[in-house]
Amino acid sequence: MTVLVLQHIACEPPGVFEDVLHERRLPLLRVELDEGEPLPGSLDGIDAIVAMGGPMSVNDEAEHPWLAAEKALIAEAVGSGVPFWGSCLGVQLLAASLGARVTRGPAPEVGVLPVYATDAAAGDPVFAALAWPRPTLQWHEDTFDLPAGATLLATSPEYPHQAFRVGCVAYGVQFHVEVDEAMADEWARVPAYVASAESVLGPGGLDRLLADFRTSMGEMQADGRALFTRWVELWDD
Protein backbone atom coordinates (compact mmCIF):
# COMPACT_ATOMS: atom_id res chain seq x y z
CA MET A 1 0.00 0.00 0.00
CA THR A 2 1.30 3.49 -0.85
CA VAL A 3 0.60 6.54 1.31
CA LEU A 4 0.75 9.90 -0.44
CA VAL A 5 2.22 12.55 1.89
CA LEU A 6 1.36 16.12 0.90
CA GLN A 7 3.92 18.45 2.45
CA HIS A 8 3.83 22.26 2.23
CA ILE A 9 7.08 23.26 3.93
CA ALA A 10 10.18 21.20 4.67
CA CYS A 11 9.92 21.66 8.45
CA GLU A 12 6.41 20.16 8.65
CA PRO A 13 6.83 16.47 7.85
CA PRO A 14 4.44 13.95 9.43
CA GLY A 15 6.62 13.51 12.52
CA VAL A 16 5.35 10.70 14.74
CA PHE A 17 2.72 9.92 12.11
CA GLU A 18 5.54 9.02 9.75
CA ASP A 19 7.05 6.81 12.45
CA VAL A 20 3.81 4.82 12.56
CA LEU A 21 3.80 4.40 8.79
CA HIS A 22 7.41 3.18 8.79
CA GLU A 23 6.74 0.74 11.64
CA ARG A 24 3.87 -0.74 9.67
CA ARG A 25 6.10 -0.91 6.56
CA LEU A 26 3.78 1.31 4.55
CA PRO A 27 5.69 3.00 1.70
CA LEU A 28 5.46 6.78 1.37
CA LEU A 29 5.25 8.91 -1.75
CA ARG A 30 6.21 12.39 -0.52
CA VAL A 31 5.29 15.45 -2.59
CA GLU A 32 6.73 18.80 -1.49
CA LEU A 33 4.24 21.11 -3.14
CA ASP A 34 5.96 24.32 -2.05
CA GLU A 35 9.09 23.13 -3.87
CA GLY A 36 7.20 22.67 -7.12
CA GLU A 37 6.98 18.87 -7.00
CA PRO A 38 4.00 17.64 -9.03
CA LEU A 39 0.98 15.84 -7.69
CA PRO A 40 0.27 12.36 -9.04
CA GLY A 41 -1.68 12.45 -12.27
CA SER A 42 -4.30 10.11 -10.79
CA LEU A 43 -5.14 8.22 -7.63
CA ASP A 44 -4.05 4.92 -9.19
CA GLY A 45 -1.79 3.17 -6.69
CA ILE A 46 -2.56 5.66 -3.89
CA ASP A 47 -4.09 3.86 -0.91
CA ALA A 48 -4.20 6.75 1.59
CA ILE A 49 -3.33 10.45 1.82
CA VAL A 50 -1.73 12.41 4.65
CA ALA A 51 -1.75 16.22 4.29
CA MET A 52 0.41 18.25 6.65
CA GLY A 53 0.62 21.89 7.74
CA GLY A 54 2.23 24.97 6.27
CA PRO A 55 2.42 28.76 6.61
CA MET A 56 0.07 29.49 3.72
CA SER A 57 -3.73 29.70 3.68
CA VAL A 58 -5.85 27.40 1.55
CA ASN A 59 -7.18 30.62 -0.02
CA ASP A 60 -3.75 31.72 -1.30
CA GLU A 61 -4.19 30.26 -4.79
CA ALA A 62 -2.88 33.41 -6.50
CA GLU A 63 0.44 33.01 -4.67
CA HIS A 64 0.41 29.20 -4.67
CA PRO A 65 -1.47 27.97 -7.76
CA TRP A 66 -0.85 24.34 -6.84
CA LEU A 67 -3.42 24.68 -4.04
CA ALA A 68 -6.27 24.40 -6.55
CA ALA A 69 -5.00 21.10 -7.92
CA GLU A 70 -4.33 19.83 -4.41
CA LYS A 71 -7.88 20.57 -3.29
CA ALA A 72 -9.26 18.90 -6.41
CA LEU A 73 -7.19 15.79 -5.70
CA ILE A 74 -8.37 15.67 -2.08
CA ALA A 75 -12.00 16.06 -3.14
CA GLU A 76 -11.61 13.23 -5.63
CA ALA A 77 -9.90 11.03 -3.05
CA VAL A 78 -12.49 11.54 -0.33
CA GLY A 79 -15.31 11.07 -2.83
CA SER A 80 -13.72 7.78 -3.89
CA GLY A 81 -13.31 6.54 -0.32
CA VAL A 82 -9.52 6.90 -0.19
CA PRO A 83 -8.49 7.28 3.49
CA PHE A 84 -7.39 10.83 4.32
CA TRP A 85 -5.69 12.41 7.33
CA GLY A 86 -5.14 16.16 7.46
CA SER A 87 -3.27 18.15 10.11
CA CYS A 88 -3.59 21.94 10.57
CA LEU A 89 -3.43 23.23 6.98
CA GLY A 90 -4.39 19.67 6.04
CA VAL A 91 -7.74 19.85 7.85
CA GLN A 92 -8.43 23.23 6.24
CA LEU A 93 -7.66 21.70 2.84
CA LEU A 94 -10.09 18.89 3.60
CA ALA A 95 -12.82 21.35 4.55
CA ALA A 96 -12.21 23.56 1.51
CA SER A 97 -12.05 20.63 -0.89
CA LEU A 98 -15.51 19.58 0.28
CA GLY A 99 -17.02 23.02 -0.26
CA ALA A 100 -16.71 24.56 3.21
CA ARG A 101 -15.43 28.07 3.88
CA VAL A 102 -11.97 28.63 5.34
CA THR A 103 -11.62 32.06 6.95
CA ARG A 104 -9.47 33.99 9.42
CA GLY A 105 -10.27 33.08 13.00
CA PRO A 106 -11.13 35.59 15.73
CA ALA A 107 -7.44 35.78 16.70
CA PRO A 108 -4.38 33.62 16.03
CA GLU A 109 -4.32 30.53 18.25
CA VAL A 110 -0.75 29.86 19.37
CA GLY A 111 0.40 27.82 22.35
CA VAL A 112 -0.01 24.53 24.15
CA LEU A 113 -3.75 24.56 24.73
CA PRO A 114 -6.44 22.05 25.69
CA VAL A 115 -8.80 20.52 23.17
CA TYR A 116 -12.08 18.93 24.24
CA ALA A 117 -14.00 16.04 22.76
CA THR A 118 -17.54 16.36 21.49
CA ASP A 119 -20.18 13.80 22.41
CA ALA A 120 -19.62 12.13 19.04
CA ALA A 121 -15.98 11.39 19.89
CA ALA A 122 -16.92 8.71 22.42
CA GLY A 123 -18.33 6.55 19.64
CA ASP A 124 -15.65 7.32 17.08
CA PRO A 125 -13.14 4.52 16.37
CA VAL A 126 -10.22 6.98 16.29
CA PHE A 127 -11.02 9.63 18.90
CA ALA A 128 -12.30 7.16 21.48
CA ALA A 129 -8.64 6.13 21.89
CA LEU A 130 -8.02 9.09 24.24
CA ALA A 131 -9.47 10.41 27.49
CA TRP A 132 -10.24 14.05 26.68
CA PRO A 133 -9.43 16.94 27.13
CA ARG A 134 -5.86 16.69 25.86
CA PRO A 135 -2.99 19.20 25.52
CA THR A 136 -2.23 20.15 21.94
CA LEU A 137 0.15 22.45 20.10
CA GLN A 138 -1.75 25.18 18.27
CA TRP A 139 -0.09 27.47 15.73
CA HIS A 140 -2.60 28.84 13.21
CA GLU A 141 -4.77 31.80 12.22
CA ASP A 142 -7.45 30.26 10.02
CA THR A 143 -10.56 28.30 10.87
CA PHE A 144 -13.17 26.51 8.78
CA ASP A 145 -16.85 25.71 8.51
CA LEU A 146 -17.80 22.06 8.71
CA PRO A 147 -18.46 20.43 5.32
CA ALA A 148 -21.90 18.95 4.67
CA GLY A 149 -22.28 15.62 6.44
CA ALA A 150 -19.21 16.08 8.66
CA THR A 151 -19.10 14.89 12.26
CA LEU A 152 -17.44 17.29 14.69
CA LEU A 153 -15.13 15.36 17.02
CA ALA A 154 -13.13 17.95 18.95
CA THR A 155 -13.53 21.58 19.96
CA SER A 156 -12.02 24.44 21.97
CA PRO A 157 -13.42 27.71 23.34
CA GLU A 158 -11.78 30.02 20.78
CA TYR A 159 -11.82 27.65 17.79
CA PRO A 160 -14.90 25.40 18.05
CA HIS A 161 -13.95 23.34 14.98
CA GLN A 162 -10.84 21.41 16.02
CA ALA A 163 -11.39 18.02 14.38
CA PHE A 164 -13.95 16.31 12.19
CA ARG A 165 -14.65 13.16 10.21
CA VAL A 166 -16.33 12.77 6.85
CA GLY A 167 -17.56 9.29 6.03
CA CYS A 168 -15.62 6.50 7.70
CA VAL A 169 -11.97 7.17 6.83
CA ALA A 170 -11.48 10.91 6.15
CA TYR A 171 -10.24 12.80 9.24
CA GLY A 172 -8.83 16.23 9.91
CA VAL A 173 -7.36 17.84 13.03
CA GLN A 174 -6.60 21.54 13.49
CA PHE A 175 -4.04 20.90 16.23
CA HIS A 176 -0.55 19.39 16.24
CA VAL A 177 0.25 16.19 18.12
CA GLU A 178 2.87 14.89 15.67
CA VAL A 179 5.69 17.31 16.45
CA ASP A 180 9.01 16.23 17.94
CA GLU A 181 11.57 18.51 19.57
CA ALA A 182 13.70 18.96 16.45
CA MET A 183 10.64 19.99 14.42
CA ALA A 184 9.56 22.52 17.06
CA ASP A 185 13.04 24.06 17.11
CA GLU A 186 12.97 24.33 13.33
CA TRP A 187 9.54 25.98 13.39
CA ALA A 188 11.00 28.57 15.72
CA ARG A 189 13.26 29.64 12.85
CA VAL A 190 10.47 30.10 10.26
CA PRO A 191 9.80 33.86 10.01
CA ALA A 192 6.03 33.49 9.53
CA TYR A 193 5.77 31.22 12.58
CA VAL A 194 7.98 33.46 14.71
CA ALA A 195 5.90 36.51 13.78
CA SER A 196 2.64 34.81 14.69
CA ALA A 197 4.02 33.61 18.03
CA GLU A 198 5.45 37.00 18.99
CA SER A 199 2.30 38.87 17.92
CA VAL A 200 0.09 36.64 20.07
CA LEU A 201 2.34 35.91 23.02
CA GLY A 202 4.40 39.10 23.17
CA PRO A 203 8.15 39.53 23.69
CA GLY A 204 9.73 36.28 24.80
CA GLY A 205 6.57 34.43 23.88
CA LEU A 206 8.32 32.07 21.53
CA ASP A 207 10.69 30.91 24.24
CA ARG A 208 7.76 30.34 26.61
CA LEU A 209 5.92 28.44 23.91
CA LEU A 210 8.89 26.14 23.33
CA ALA A 211 9.22 25.55 27.07
CA ASP A 212 5.52 24.65 27.32
CA PHE A 213 5.89 22.38 24.32
CA ARG A 214 8.80 20.49 25.86
CA THR A 215 6.82 20.00 29.07
CA SER A 216 3.91 18.34 27.23
CA MET A 217 5.83 16.93 24.25
CA GLY A 218 5.86 13.29 25.35
CA GLU A 219 2.16 13.31 26.15
CA MET A 220 1.23 14.95 22.86
CA GLN A 221 3.38 12.56 20.82
CA ALA A 222 1.78 9.56 22.57
CA ASP A 223 -1.64 11.00 21.76
CA GLY A 224 -0.64 11.58 18.15
CA ARG A 225 0.61 8.05 17.82
CA ALA A 226 -2.60 6.66 19.36
CA LEU A 227 -4.92 8.66 17.10
CA PHE A 228 -2.96 8.05 13.93
CA THR A 229 -2.56 4.32 14.64
CA ARG A 230 -6.31 3.99 15.12
CA TRP A 231 -6.85 5.75 11.78
CA VAL A 232 -4.38 3.48 9.97
CA GLU A 233 -6.05 0.44 11.48
CA LEU A 234 -9.31 1.45 9.80
CA TRP A 235 -7.87 0.69 6.37
CA ASP A 236 -4.59 -1.23 6.74
CA ASP A 237 -5.53 -4.87 7.09
Domain tally for the chain?
A: 1
pLDDT, position 33: 98
Global pTM value: 0.96
* Region at 55 (left for phi over 0; alpha for psi -120 to 50; beta for the rest): alpha
Beta bridge partners of residue 32, listed in sequence order: 7
CATH number of the domain encompassing residue 42: 3.40.50.880
Tens of pLDDT, residue by residue, the chain (237 residues): 899 999 999 999 999 999 999 999 999 999 999 999 999 999 999 999 999 999 999 999 999 999 999 999 999 999 999 999 999 999 999 999 999 999 999 988 999 999 999 999 999 999 999 999 999 999 999 999 999 999 999 999 999 999 999 999 999 999 999 999 999 989 888 887 788 788 889 988 888 999 999 999 999 999 999 999 999 999 997
State the number of CA atoms in the 13 A half-sphere of 119 facing the CB: 0
Q: Cα(60)–Cα(56) distance, rounded to whole angstroms? A: 7
Residue 184 class from Cβ within 10 Å (0-12 exposed, 13-18 middle, 19+ buried)?
Answer: buried
Beta-strand relationship, 84-87 and 170-173: parallel
The residue type found at 176 is: H
pLDDT, position 194: 82
pLDDT, position 206: 86
Residue numbers of the domain that contains 155? 3-235
pLDDT, position 196: 77
